[in-house]
Structures are given as C-alpha cells and as structure tokens.
C-alpha cells in the first residue's frame, strides 16, 4: 500500500488552500463574532466542487475519492473551522440518500446541494438520547399512504438553514435498534419547527438547531432504504463520518500550528525571536509531529472506509477520530501557550482554533464511545 498522495490529491489541496486563504480567512473572525451563517461562501465553495465533493458527477458532484474528500475537509478547517464546518456539512445526509435513496430523491436534491443552493441535515440525536442512538423516542406512524412523525431532535447541524434532511425515527417502538427508519423530510413540512441554538463554544458560523416534529406528514415514498432498516444503514456511514471528523481535527490543529510557528518567529523576548528558545522550538516540533501522525491515521482510515465498512474500517475510523480530536485540542492549547498572553484574546486565531477544535471530541460519537468501539474490536 502506498502512503504517498498523488498529483491529483496535491491539486485538490492547493485549490482548497487557495480558496481558504483568499475567501475564508479574511472573514473568519467576523463570522465567529457575529455567528452569521456564511451562505455566500457556501455558494462560492460549491462553484469549486467543495460542497459534498464525493457525490458523483451525474448528480452535480465531483465524485472525489475518500482521501481527496478528507483533504477538502482538512483544508477548509485549516482556514477556519466555523466556516469550514458550514461548507463541509452542507451535504449532511447526502451519502445516505445516495446509497439507499430512490432515484427521484437523488435527482431532486443532490444537484441542489452540490450547487450550494440547498443545505441538508442529518437528524439522529434527541434531548434524552445522544450516545445511545437506539434509544431514540421520535416516532413515525403509518396513516394510509403517509407517515406521521412526532418527537424532538436536538443538536442538528443546518437545522435552520437546510431545505431537506434525513431524519431517523422509530417505526417499531420497543424493538430498539431494530425498529428505526430513515425518512427524507423537507424542512418546509407543516409541523417541522426548528429553533436555532446560538450559544455554542465554537464553530459559531455553523448552524445548529433543536427541531420539534409536530405531526409532520411525509408520503411513504420518502422512506430511505427500508422500514426498520435505518440503524443498520446509519452504522455504515458512521465510519465515513468519523473519518471526516478526524480530518476536521487535523485541519484545526494545522491551522493552530501554522499560527504558532508564525508567531514564534516574529515575537521577540530577551532580544531574540522566541523560536530560538529550545523550549519553544521543541514544542513546535512536537505539535507538528502529532499533527502528521493524526493525518496519516486519518488517510489510512479513509482508504479503508473507501473499500468496505468492515470491522477493520470501523476500528480505524474510530481510532483516527479519537487520536485526531484529542490531538487537535492539545495542539491548539500549546499554540495558545506559544502566544503567551496574546493567545488568550481574540486578536490572534489560536483561541478560536482551541474553542473550535473542542467539538471534534464530542460529535459523531464522543471519545469515550470511540474507545468502546475500538476495545469491542480488540477484546
Ligand atoms: C455542535 C454540534 C453539532 C452536532 N451535530 C449533530 C447533527 O448534525 N446530527 C445529530 O444527530 N447530532 C448532532 N450532534 C449531537 C452529537 O452527536 C451528540 O452530542 C453526541 O453524540 C453525544 O451525545 P449527548 O450530547 O447526548 O451526550 P451523552 O450521550 O449524554 O453523553 C454524556 C457523557 O457520557 C458519556 N457516555 C455516554 N454513554 C457512554 C458509554 N456507553 N460509555 C462511556 N461513556 C458514555 C459520553 O462520552 C459523554 O462524556 C451535534 C452536537 C453538537 C454539540
């Protein structure tokens, strides 16, 4: 197996980095402070195929391989995790539509998402059930040729900006994970009530919402895959989702490292740049080594997930997510340390990277859950 990226991967990285430096970086602080969702940037990113880049060309995407997709995510987050998250998550749920959806769903929604015209959501978590997905209480009951959905979802990325999404509900309550179904739910459905959550620690440009589902009716053709098959379908995408979060973490860490390196060469104390103190230069060397190790593990997980979602891929994805997310928070913390007092205020991007990186330890399964998954496959 070769671990060298090819010319196509380098070209993708160059393109996203240029977009990040020219379009995202200059407005990153502003969006963090205003918490404004970057709709224009999402549309612009779509022109370059950076939105839902793995969707095949026939539905308007770029058909990127998993490593290229990881590079896109990594570079968007390196520029700024908040805006990177808004662009990178604009097609949430599209893999589920692609793999299990009917042809009409793909034709109607995927081109709009890849064009940046619409965003989508993936609604799994509920107020009382996060890590325990199988415990969800939102129900869907069949009435004639419609399903009626009632319940509450929370922590839903794109909840107030999406036009459509994939929503998981219990169709056979009492059956645990065996009774869950995925539905395609348009956000303009009657009874679909999103409320923005805007007091986040980080990734503030990204949209987050709680969603009430008050008798939302969808036709039976909106079932994705099969009735009661949703949990198994979901499990197939967790490995890809976790690899994507690992790439987010690598990007955030690299952004913090870049800022620390620049600052260390500019800032002088005792009549010399602080980078000339071994305590600082070794810190930077350790940070760079940690980022590179997490990057390698992330690409390795991505290459496995591309081939299968077998136990090995699931284990590697969880390992990549666990290591990269813990590393990102540590590296951003060290980047603040390199900045001294200047790192503790918003004048420099490192405090933002620190706040933004923190989410990668929580969503798509917390670090503790990743350890459960890994140990289950070892013991
Ligand atoms: C910014 C953001 C965006 C999000 N986006 C989405 C989204 O788009 N769609 C969506 O569906 N969800 C989303 N989530 C929800 C996210 O996936 C959950 O927050 C996460 O899975 C944890 O669930 P919880 O918050 O209910 O925590 P809990 O499950 O209540 O966990 C609390 C603590 O208990 C620990 N714990 C729980 N169970 C175990 C166990 N079995 N073993 C060991 N430790 C355990 C956890 O690790 C954690 O430390 C998002 C969350 C945030 C904050």
Q: What is the dihedral of CA 354, 357, 363, 368, to 10 degrees?
A: -80
Q: Does residue 243 have its Cβ closer than 6 Å to ligand 1?
A: no
Number of other residues whose CB lies within 10 A of the CB of residue 310: 11
In whole angstroms, give the CA distance from residue 232 to residue 37.
32
For the chain, give every residue range classified as CATH 2.40.110.10: 121-229
Domain at 231-376: CATH code: 1.20.140.10
- Phi/psi-derived region of residue 326, left when phi > 0, alpha when psi is between -120 and 50, beta in every other case: alpha
CATH class held by domain 121-229: mainly beta
**Is the CB of 209 within 6 Å of ligand 1?**
no
Is 213 strand, coil or helix?
strand
Ligand 1 centre distance from Cα of residue 49 (Å): 30
Q: Which of 306, 301, 286, 308 is nearest to 374 (CA)?
A: 301
pLDDT at 138: 98
Mutate which of 125, 237, 325 to test ligand 1's pocket (most atoms within 8 Å of Cβ)?
Answer: 125
Pinpoint the residues of the chain covered by CATH 1.10.540.10: 7-114
Indicate where the chain has its CATH 1.20.140.10 domain(s).
Answer: 231-376
Cβ(208) – ligand 1 distance below 6 Å? yes
Does ligand 1 come within 6 angstroms of the Cβ of 123?
Answer: yes
* pLDDT by 10s per residue, the chain, length 379: 566 788 999 999 999 999 999 999 999 999 999 999 999 999 999 999 999 999 999 999 999 999 999 999 999 999 999 999 999 999 999 999 999 999 999 999 999 999 999 999 999 999 999 999 999 999 999 999 999 999 999 999 999 999 999 999 999 999 999 999 999 999 999 999 999 999 999 999 999 999 999 999 999 999 999 999 999 999 888 999 999 999 999 999 999 999 999 999 999 999 999 999 999 999 999 999 999 999 999 999 999 987 777 889 999 999 999 999 999 999 999 999 999 999 999 999 999 999 999 999 999 999 999 999 999 999 9
1.10.540.10, 1.10.3720.10, 1.20.81.30, 3.30.1490.20: which CATH number matches 7-114? 1.10.540.10
> Of all atoms in ligand 1, which is nearest to the CA of residue 129?
26
Q: What is the DSSP letter of 37?
A: -
Determine whether 364 is an active site residue: yes
* Residue 70, both tokens: 């990881």
- Reading the block at residue 305, the tokens are 């997930």
């Amino acid at each position: 197996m070769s671990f060298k990226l090819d010319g196509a991967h380098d070209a993708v990285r160059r393109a996203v980095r240029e977009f990040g430096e020219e379009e995202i970086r200059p407005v990153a602080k502003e969006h963090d402070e205003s918490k404004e969702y970057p709709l224009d940037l999402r549309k612009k990113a779509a022109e370059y195929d950076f939105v839902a880049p793995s969707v095949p060309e026939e539905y308007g995407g770029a058909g990127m391989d998993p490593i290229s997709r990881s590079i896109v995510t990594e570079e968007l987050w390196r520029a700024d995790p908040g805006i990177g998250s808004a662009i990178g998550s604009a097609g949430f749920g599209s893999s589920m539509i692609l793999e299990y959806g009917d042809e009409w769903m793909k034709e109607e929604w995927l081109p709009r998402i890849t064009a940046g015209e619409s965003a989508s959501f993936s609604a799994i978590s509920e107020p009382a059930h996060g890590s325990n997905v199988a415990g969800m209480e939102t129900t869907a009951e069949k009435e004639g040729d419609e399903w009626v959905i009632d319940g509450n979802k929370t922590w839903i990325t794109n909840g107030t900006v999406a036009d459509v999404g994939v929503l998981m509900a219990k169709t056979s309550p009492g059956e645990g994970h065996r009774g869950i179904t995925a539905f395609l739910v348009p956000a303009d459905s009657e009874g679909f009530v999103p409320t923005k959550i805007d007091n986040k620690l980080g990734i503030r440009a990204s949209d987050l919402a709680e969603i009430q589902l008050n008798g939302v009716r969808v036709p039976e053709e909106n079932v994705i895959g099969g009735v009661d098959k949703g949990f198994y379908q979901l499990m197939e995408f967790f490995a890809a989702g976790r690899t994507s979060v690992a790439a987010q973490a690598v990007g955030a860490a690299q952004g913090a490292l870049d800022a620390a390196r620049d600052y260390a060469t500019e800032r002088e104390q005792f009549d010399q740049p602080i980078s000339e103190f071994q305590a600082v230069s070794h810190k930077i060397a350790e940070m760079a080594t940690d980022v590179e190790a997490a990057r390698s593990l992330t690409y390795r997980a991505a290459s496995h997930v591309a081939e299968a979602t077998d136990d090995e891929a699931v284990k590697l994805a969880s390992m990549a997510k666990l290591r990269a997310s813990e590393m990102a928070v540590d590296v951003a913390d060290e980047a603040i340390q390199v900045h001294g007092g200047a790192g503790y205020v918003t004048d420099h991007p490192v405090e933002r990277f620190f706040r933004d990186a923190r989410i990668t330890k929580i969503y798509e399964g917390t670090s503790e859950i990743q350890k459960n998954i890994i140990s289950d496959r070892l013991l």
